[in-house]
Structures are given as C-alpha cells and as structure tokens.
Amino acid sequence: MLFRHAAALIDARQLSVGMDVTYTRELADIPDSYVADRLAQALESPVVTLGSYPWRDEFGFGEVRRANLKAVRQDIAKNGPLYFATKLARLLSGQAVRENGYNMAAAVDPDERDPRVIEGIRYGSVVTWQCIAPAAIDRKARYLSPSSPKPTSKSLSTASGWLTSRWTRSCTVSHLICSAIATLKRYGPSNQNLGC
C-alpha cells in the first residue's frame, strides 16, 4: 500500500498538503515508502519554491503543495456537511480528482448521524495519482477493447463491495473510515474483506 506510510506521516505531523504523483513504473515496482519519502523530502528541503515542490526520479514525478483547507471550510459553512469522498479531495487539492486516483488522510469532525459525512476539518491531505507505465496502459487498453467480455450481474460489484475497496483504498488510517466500514459490516449485503 503506497499510501500507508504517507498517511502515517500526515497524521503524525497533522499535515495539510496536496500531492500529485505520476508513476512511470509498474505499481508493484514502487517502494512502499515512496510517497512518504517524497513528502518528507519536500518538508525537509531547505529550498523555498513558489507554490509547490516538484520532483522527478526513476519511479515517477510529481509535486507537493499546501492543501486548501479554507475551501473545505467555506463549502461546509455554505452547503452544510460534506461527504468524505471525491468532492472533499477536489476541494483540498484545488483541482479535478478522478474517482479511483486519489488517497486522503484527515482529522475531521464527523456528523453524528452518519460517520461518512464531516462537519469540520482540523487537517487534511490528498494524494492524487496515476500510473503511466506502458504495461499498465496496455492492460487498461485490453480491458476496454471491443472484444472484452460484457460484464454480467455476477461480475459487477455489489454496492458494499465497491464501498469497501473505495473506502479502504482512500483512507487507511482514518477513524472515520473504520466507522464507515463497521457500518458496512453490520448492514451491507456482503461483509467479506472488510476491515481496518
């Protein structure tokens, strides 16, 4: 899990950062601590940059910048509680976020009625990512080719299965996510592979 070490660093230092990461190698080839190492490198760098801290190395490239907590707080004040999901990631990062291409760690004030909804945020970070390794692109192209078999009801994920992969991939250390997973365990139609 490439985000686990970064999430621990974010929580330990209560960071509010946005990171964009583009992997140029297969995800299996990336060291587990890669994202955390790039974040630590940016935090410890004596070089002052305007807006963001960029990097490029043998595994990929990207940048680290401040997250926009002000935008999150303004949205909550104007529109009310906010789901711990894509919109939150978009507000923190200040840019469009793909549904399956981001991870978040945050300290939030969950709504008492639904732990997936937040009423406030103390700190929050988002890492957006994509993999442009040729083998990964080829696999995606084969998956989407016209000769691919059509999905059947058996091959489609149940709602709880989708939430399970979505939540666990998005926030590995958040108490909020553990609460959402516990809710799924109790009420979801499928409770396999759930856990923090």
For 63-71, what is the mean pLDDT? Answer: 97
Q: Is residue 141 part of a domain?
A: yes
| Residue 190 pLDDT | 44
Q: Is residue 30 part of a domain?
A: yes
Q: Is residue 180 part of a domain?
A: no
Which pairs count as long-range contacts for 136-143, CB under 8 Å and 24+ apart, including other chains? 136/26, 136/27
User: For 50-59, how does the pLDDT look when each residue is reduced to its tens digit (9 = 90+)?
Assistant: 889 999 999 9
Q: Is residue 103 part of a domain?
A: yes
Cα separation, 99 vs 166, whole angstroms: 9
| Residue 50 pLDDT | 80
User: Quick one: tokens of 127?
Assistant: 């890492």
Q: Is it the case that residue 174 has pLDDT exceeding 90?
A: no
pTM: 0.71
Q: Is it the case that residue 182 has pLDDT exceeding 60?
A: no
Q: Is residue 182 part of a domain?
A: no
Cα separation, 152 vs 146, whole angstroms: 16
Average pLDDT of the chain is 79
Q: Is residue 106 part of a domain?
A: yes
Q: Is residue 165 part of a domain?
A: no
| Residue 106 pLDDT | 96
| Residue 12 pLDDT | 97
| Residue 96 pLDDT | 92
How many domains is the chain partitioned into structurally?
1
Band (1; pLDDT cuts 50, 70, 90):
confident
Range of the domain at 84: 4-153
User: For 116-155, how does the pLDDT look when each residue is reduced to its tens digit (9 = 90+)?
Assistant: 999 999 999 999 999 999 888 887 776 555 554 554 444 3
Which DSSP letter does residue 29 get?
A: G
Q: Is residue 161 part of a domain?
A: no
Which has more confidence, 183 or 76? 76
Which has more confidence, 155 or 26? 26
Residue 111 neighbours by CB distance under 10 Å: 16
